Structure 1
Amino acid sequence: MSLRYKGLSEINGPLVVLDHVQNASFDEIVELELENGSTRTGRIVQIEGERVVIQVFEGTNKISLVNTTTRLMGHPMELPLSKEILGRTFNGAGKPIDHLGNIFAEKRMDINGLPLNPVSRVYPRNYINTGISSIDALMTLIRGQKLPIFSGSGMPHNQLAVQIVKQANIADKEGAGFCIVFAAMGVKNDVADYFKRSFEEAGVMERVVMFVNLANDPIIERILTPRCALTAAEYLAYEKDMHVLVILSDMTSYCEAVREFSSSKGEIPGRKGYPGYLYSDLASLYERAGIIKGSKGSVTQIPILTMPNDDITHPVPDLTGYITEGQISLDRNLDQMGIYPPVGVLPSLSRLMKDGIGEGYTRADHSALSNQLFAAYAKVSDAKSLASVIGEDELSDVDKKYMLFGNLFEEHFLNQGFDCNRTIDETLDLGWKLLSVLPRGELDRVDDEVLDKFYDHEAAVKEFGLKEEKFIKELERSVNG
């Protein structure tokens, strides 16, 4: 038997307070019936003796202190799930918004997830191919990994998210499926329409589950959105043996919602007004990625976050970097040069890629190529810094060749366009042709045996249209702008 409580003690923003409540549980779902007969849903977020604080998902507008009836449901928020969720679109609270009816639930799962024994985790191996050379070659996305994208205001992170959804795939040897759970938080209507339209036009909507929280939706729903998305991903991965890629955009909007909610509860703010528990709150989301022993599926995460004022020390990217296994940083200078995707190579890394690439996964030469490309591009940065001090004309011949390599690398490797989908072999072959522009003696991160197989200066000349006599002129052009 469930008890009903008549009236409320207090209304404060998205929160309502109810007194004299017994046997309530933290995170328990509550149903509020308004005097006009409509109902709203909430959850208990604070308990002080017999006084409970309820977070109302749809907001507290038009709720009466006197005539509201509250009923405790006796369970936490649960998401109805079946394989029918593939191809469907839901709001941030997991309710269908695509006019295709409700989900006939095969199972209902707590959106907060279940505690995962670390001993049951399987170390992530093998990779997900995104078709984007800079990511696949240099910061490879490994199944079961959490690899965020650090972006800035006005940069093409939404476009990059769509491209990853369109192109991502796995080498499926075990017969398991591959799908994507996409959660948009705090986006405008036109951005939400862009995501859905792009997925439909690309013909990939049938393998995508979308959760959309708009900018004008309640902030409480925004806090639920990533939890609903990850619950759907866990169901598909561990119950249906699928490999699931979860894309969460934009985590900064989520964190701002957490900050606003924390402020409404009167909690003591921490750095830049964010609550002190932001780290553990983000960890409760990010740590739901992984592979569980005995399951054929996996959950891989790409959280996307915009850094206010491009500040990587801001609490959201700072804490995210502590929890996740690397990051993909977008570079504003590359973006202003018209390079897409503008992935900044040097500040980006994938800490798990060393164990998920190479022979049996991508290709035996992948690790050597990646190390050498990083080293060569770092020397490009050094050459540019030196040129800014002593002038381009005073650079050595080797430095000029590095400047040429840098131009070609950005023009042909990083800049591949929105519709270009490269296989891993195409990406690695292109990387070797670019390295072949440099003198062989400069490639000190690669064994001679590998160089004998892949280093080919003539192929580089043919690939990039550089004849031998034109080669020096191209070097001069690269340093003179």
Structure 2
Amino acid sequence: MTTRLTRWLTTLDNFEAKMAQLPAVRRYGRLTRATGLVLEATGLQLPLGATCVIERQNGSETHEVESEVVGFNGQRLFLMPLEEVEGVLPGARVYAKNISAEGLQSGKQLPLGPALLGRVLDGSGKPLDGLPSPDTTETGALITPPFNPLQRTPIEHVLDTGVRPINALLTVGRGQRMGLFAGSGVGKSVLLGMMARYTRAGCHCRGFDW
């Protein structure tokens, strides 16, 4: 092997090492207008309901503001921010989120798996308990096709809620859907807390709307 060929191979290896350190290519648009809670962006073609992130400069640091596509007019996208937009500048970059290997928008994804046990997350799957994001590779779509009710498994087993009046008078079955409706201040949250605390189940998943 000649000296020149060795030098060329070394140069190519260096280029390959540097290219491996480059960030992945991301197509982005620009923020063109902000009117109230609706932002307008151009340069991206995304479907309704798609998730985007907007760059927000905070000194020398760059943060991302998550938003959702709620409409469009020609080449303009209308975005609804899901976080505080203070500090977002005109012309800020707008990136698509949750892009699959085929380059398609896959919609909002939430983490799944045993790593969620004992965790507190918001509606976007971000931690609220001050701990790192759940270490899981499984995700599920937030919006899924409706399930045919005729294909549901029949309810055959009683679910012990730990609340005697409910067990005796309003028995709940495993897999049953139920609604709790009442006026303000009569104890809905207390009752839900009791059911969540005392129900006999291997895993409790609780959702709250403030």
TM-score, normalised via structure 2 length: 0.74
Q: How far is 1:119 from its partner?
A: 4.4
Q: Tell me which residue corresponds to 1:53.
A: 78
Equivalent residue in structure 1 for 2:169, among 138, 153, 166: 138
Correspondences of 1:42-191 after superposition (within 5 Å) = 42-64=67-89, 66-73=90-97, 74-169=105-200, 178-186=202-210
**Alpha-carbon spacing, 1:7–1:150, altered in 2? closer, same or farther (3 Å):** closer
SS of the residue 1:43 aligns to: strand
* One-letter identity of the residue aligned with 2:56: L
Q: Are 1:12 and 2:43 counterparts?
A: no
SS of the residue 1:32 aligns to: strand
The one of the two structures with greater contact order (alpha-carbon pairs below 8 A, sep at least 6) is: 1
Contact 2:65/2:85, CA 8 A, preserved across alignment = no
Q: How far is 1:20 from its partner?
A: 5.2
Correspondences of 1:281-296 after superposition (within 5 Å) = none
SS of the residue 1:166 aligns to: helix
The separation in 2 between residues aligned to 1:59 and 1:151, in whole angstroms, is 33
- Listed as ranges, the gaps of 5+ residues in structure 1 are 171-177, 187-481
Q: Are 1:30 and 2:61 counterparts?
A: no
Q: Tell me which residue corresponds to 2:7.
A: none
The separation in 2 between residues aligned to 1:48 and 1:119, in whole angstroms, is 40
For residues 232-257 of structure 1, what are the alpha-carbon distances to aligned partners after superposition, in whole Å with 9 as ceiling and x for unaligned?
xxxxxxxxxxxxxxxxxxxxxxxxxx
4+ residue runs over 4 A deviation: none
Contact 1:126/1:142, CA 8 A, preserved across alignment = yes
SS of the residue 1:91 aligns to: coil
- The structure richer in helix per residue is 1
Contact 1:9/1:19, CA 8 A, preserved across alignment = no
Q: How far is 1:85 from its partner?
A: 0.6
The separation in 2 between residues aligned to 1:138 and 1:25, in whole angstroms, is 48
Contact 1:77/1:111, CA 8 A, preserved across alignment = yes
Q: How far is 1:18 from its partner?
A: 1.9
Q: How far is 1:108 from its partner?
A: 1.1
The separation in 1 between residues aligned to 2:66 and 2:77, in whole angstroms, is 15
The separation in 1 between residues aligned to 2:148 and 2:180, in whole angstroms, is 27
Matched length: 176
The separation in 1 between residues aligned to 2:112 and 2:133, in whole angstroms, is 10
* One-letter identity of the residue aligned with 1:8: T
* One-letter identity of the residue aligned with 2:113: S
The separation in 2 between residues aligned to 1:124 and 1:49, in whole angstroms, is 49
TM-score, normalised via structure 1 length: 0.34
For residues 166-225 of structure 1, what are the alpha-carbon distances to aligned partners after superposition, in whole Å with 9 as ceiling and x for unaligned?
21116xxxxxxx221111221xxxxxxxxxxxxxxxxxxxxxxxxxxxxxxxxxxxxxxx
The separation in 2 between residues aligned to 1:59 and 1:101, in whole angstroms, is 21
SS of the residue 2:194 aligns to: helix
Q: How far is 1:137 from its partner?
A: 1.6
For residues 283-340 of structure 1, what are the alpha-carbon distances to aligned partners after superposition, in whole Å with 9 as ceiling and x for unaligned?
xxxxxxxxxxxxxxxxxxxxxxxxxxxxxxxxxxxxxxxxxxxxxxxxxxxxxxxxxx
SS of the residue 2:166 aligns to: helix
Correspondences of 1:362-401 after superposition (within 5 Å) = none
Correspondences of 1:141-290 after superposition (within 5 Å) = 141-169=172-200, 178-186=202-210
The separation in 2 between residues aligned to 1:55 and 1:10, in whole angstroms, is 10
Contact 2:109/2:141, CA 8 A, preserved across alignment = yes
Contact 2:28/2:44, CA 8 A, preserved across alignment = no
The separation in 2 between residues aligned to 1:179 and 1:135, in whole angstroms, is 20
**Alpha-carbon spacing, 1:75–1:129, altered in 2? closer, same or farther (3 Å):** same
